[in-house]
């Protein structure tokens, strides 16, 4: 995300058939979702390996999307900045994926609408 906000691109494999339920299981799922929803654009496509896997070079689509993501990231760390920021960074530095996922799930629940979350109700006691 930091590279994107700096105007850079990155490479990722994209699952063109991604569904919301798979966001926890695939490291590239979020990029697939952002591409499918128009927040990312493809700058380049190359085929890699024996099976010619698709590797995409991706970037944010425009200045408005970059601004929106910048505001969203700032919003994640506003208010109780020290508490949440330090918890997330601490989890990341200690490779505590479970704690990082807990933090990102809180972010997700505050940013995705019920229209984005699919047909199944949330397993947690959240409005969506």
75-108 pLDDT tens trace? 776 765 455 556 777 787 788 888 888 887 777 7
pTM exceeds 0.95: no
pLDDT band at 122 (very low <50, low <70, confident <90, very high): low
What does the block give as tokens for 123? 């397993």
Q: Where are the domains of the chain?
A: 1-61, 77-119
Q: How far apart are CA 48 and CA 36, in angstroms?
A: 22
pLDDT band at 11 (very low <50, low <70, confident <90, very high): very high
Higher pLDDT, 16 or 68: 68
Q: Convert the pLDDT of each residue in 19-37 to its tens digit.
A: 666 666 677 778 888 888 8
Contact in structure between 40 and 56 (CB atoms under 8 Å): no
58: buried, middle or exposed (CB in 10 Å: 19+, 13-18, 0-12)?
buried
Of 77, 105, 79, nearest to 89 (Cα)? 77
């Amino acid at each position: 995300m930091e590279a994107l906000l700096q105007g850079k691109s990155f490479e990722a494999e994209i699952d063109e058939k991604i569904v919301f339920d798979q966001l926890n299981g695939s490291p590239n799922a979020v990029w697939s979702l952002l591409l499918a929803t128009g927040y990312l654009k493809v700058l380049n496509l190359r085929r890699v390996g024996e099976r010619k896997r698709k590797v995409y070079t991706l970037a944010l689509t425009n200045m408005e999307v970059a601004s929106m993501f910048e505001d969203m990231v700032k919003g994640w760390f506003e208010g109780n900045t020290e508490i949440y920021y330090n918890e997330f960074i601490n989890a990341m530095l200690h490779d505590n994926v479970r704690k990082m996922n807990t933090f990102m799930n809180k972010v997700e629940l505050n940013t995705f609408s019920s229209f984005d979350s699919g047909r199944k109700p949330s397993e947690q006691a959240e409005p969506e």
